[in-house]
Chains A and B, each alone.
Chain A
């Protein structure tokens, strides 16, 4: 297989293309019991879901809209998986799929109705395309409220860069309480390492978002001061404040640290091509 083709087929498994082209679930149901509209403003993908579910059981589901092969195929797979299911079961299926895409849950942990969705496995290697695969599922979730009732009109919008329930590091396994090791750049680096970008689950250090670190004596007696300069994948990242707080949190827990200063910088603007580590680039699908 030629070099460019391996990557291509990882992203677009044959079965995805089939689901993309398939017309079984395309269209609009009228009348319907649930209607949900979702957009991804980053790429313009849009989906409109209509469900016939008179007794909170999905008897029929259709979708319309436009989007890439991945988002359309994923929508068709979703429809296939949820048709005939009641709302609680549907919630379980959606959760299973989201765990698979976002938390890299193993294929064999997928809900039994999601056999075909396993073909989206390759998409997980391309974090920038994960959102494409999730649009239909997040839109559906929005259409089913937490009490398990369907909404007549719900709106869902993907957020730029960061979307899912955050999982950034809180504790870092913390340092040994008995011995106070000397504060070094190495220990600072190790403390930051587990902090991940909440969407793409790659360490922010690996991504190259840490621009600099300074260790100095704190004005408070006996302690050290750490100053970190870091960036975000996008200035619009809504999880920015949370990431800064995470970095602050893990550093403040280091022994002997009295003062932590986290500075945000977009100079230079983060560029994964030149700043991310080889491993991170691999994760991001940049070659």
Chain B
């Protein structure tokens, strides 16, 4: 359909509402995206027309519901370049996906003295699960250090590997700084060192073309709610043989082959990892989100986001009172801009933006160790998606001026 921002915006009902008497300017898509009418309709259509539980249903509705779930699985596989639908496990979010690997793979394969490597950029969701499993197994958790500007070099990663490194888990794009990592090079490096890879692609899959086969990545985790889909759903891609060798971390209905009173055998992947009634409706609706993104085109989406990011940086960078965090070069960035204004607390900054109807996220962005390393308590963060316009960035600029004016940034004050 080509990139028509007006047409795209018209598809997102929430963009019609006002906040504090002003049109909503939603710059928090890195936290969760908004949903187009097509996805909302797909969700209600499921409940209105096809709702039934899946697995072993022989009635028409159950068959339809099952077909919709499996269709979404196939679409997801195609969307990220996975070889077959059986490599796609539906979970409840990215965090769940990573825990599934940390526990399901780690418990079986990590021994005392083994090493798991992650980076200093990680979101808590790709850090805490590894802390836990390394503690449980006696393995060590090590970190690839980042550069001062929040980038990560292949060279730094190379030095961090040892013959004991069994897993390298890293984010493809930092949610807090916007850093885009050299994913392919890092995966090749890990494989050359005999380690497996897990890529936290929560900020990548929604914004950039993903090809797991070309990357050769072993596991990839992401969340539909950051890519126009429903909340409460996550995706884990894994190479089939690796998934097949993994134990489930949850057991019960829907994940078995045969159950006896004294023993059970498990179903093959992906169903082995989907115990219990899954999130059927949201999985069905996720298919509509993929359709939407494919129709617009991931390359066009990324180009549009980077145009907005460029404009935002043009506003922020020359400002003597603004500190922009993250990579200096825009080529190393995605559509996320993290910044601080003077010595203002991010909560105060966010409050003023909110008074202008501009939604930005403030705080540590679930990256406390990273914030500590950078010596800051948190940041304000604007993140862009396909439905944001250049007008949104101008509203952001007005918000920025208002923050400075309101808190008298740069004005000498003396009260007593």
Contacts and interface: CB of A to CB of B under 8 A. Distances in A.
Whether A associates with B in a native complex is: yes
B406 A66 contact: no
Contact of A11 (B351, B378, B413): B351
A22 B413 contact: yes
Contacts of A45: 345
Interface string A4-33: 110110011001011111111000000000
B259 interface: no
B408 interface: yes
Nearest to B356: A4
B416 A80 contact: yes
B22 A43 contact: no
A17 B407 contact: yes
Interface string B384-416: 000000000000000000000011100101111
A69 interface: yes
Nearest to B342: A21
Contacts of A80: 415-416
Interface string B154-184: 0000000000000000000000000000000
A8 B416 contact: no
Nearest to A15: B415
B373 interface: no
A76 B413 CA distance: 13
A18 to B, nearest CB: 5
Contacts of B377: 44, 66
B345 A69 contact: yes
A2 B348 CA distance: 18
B347 A3 contact: no
A116 B416 CA distance: 11
A8 B352 contact: yes
Nearest to B364: A44
B413 A4 contact: no
A4 B364 CA distance: 25
B355 A7 contact: yes
Contacts of B348: 12, 68-70
The interface residues of chain A, by DSSP majority, are classed as helix
A21 B351 contact: no
A284 to B, nearest CB: 15
B361 to A, nearest CB: 14
A226 B378 CA distance: 46
A67 interface: yes
Contacts of B408: 17-18, 21
Contact of A8 (B345, B355, B364): B355
A2 B357 CA distance: 11
A12 B415 contact: no
B407 A69 contact: yes
A68 B362 CA distance: 12
Interface in B25-83: none
Most chain A CB within 10 A, of B343, B352, B407, B416, is at: B416
Nearest to A68: B345
B2 interface: no
A4 B406 contact: no
Contact of A67 (B345, B354, B364): B345
A19 B415 contact: yes
Nearest to B368: A44
A24 B407 contact: no
B354 A4 contact: yes
A24 B416 contact: yes
Contacts of B364: 44
B344 interface: yes
Contact of A17 (B21, B345, B356, B406): B406
User: Closest 10 interchain pairs by CB?
Assistant: A4-B20, A3-B21, A4-B355, A68-B345, A21-B413, A8-B355, A44-B377, A22-B415, A69-B348, A3-B20
29 contacts: A2-B21, A2-B22, A4-B19, A4-B22, A4-B356, A8-B351, A8-B352, A8-B355, A12-B351, A15-B415, A17-B407, A17-B413, A21-B411, A21-B413, A22-B414, A22-B415, A22-B416, A23-B414, A24-B415, A43-B345, A43-B347, A44-B378, A66-B345, A68-B345, A68-B348, A69-B407, A70-B348, A76-B415, A80-B415
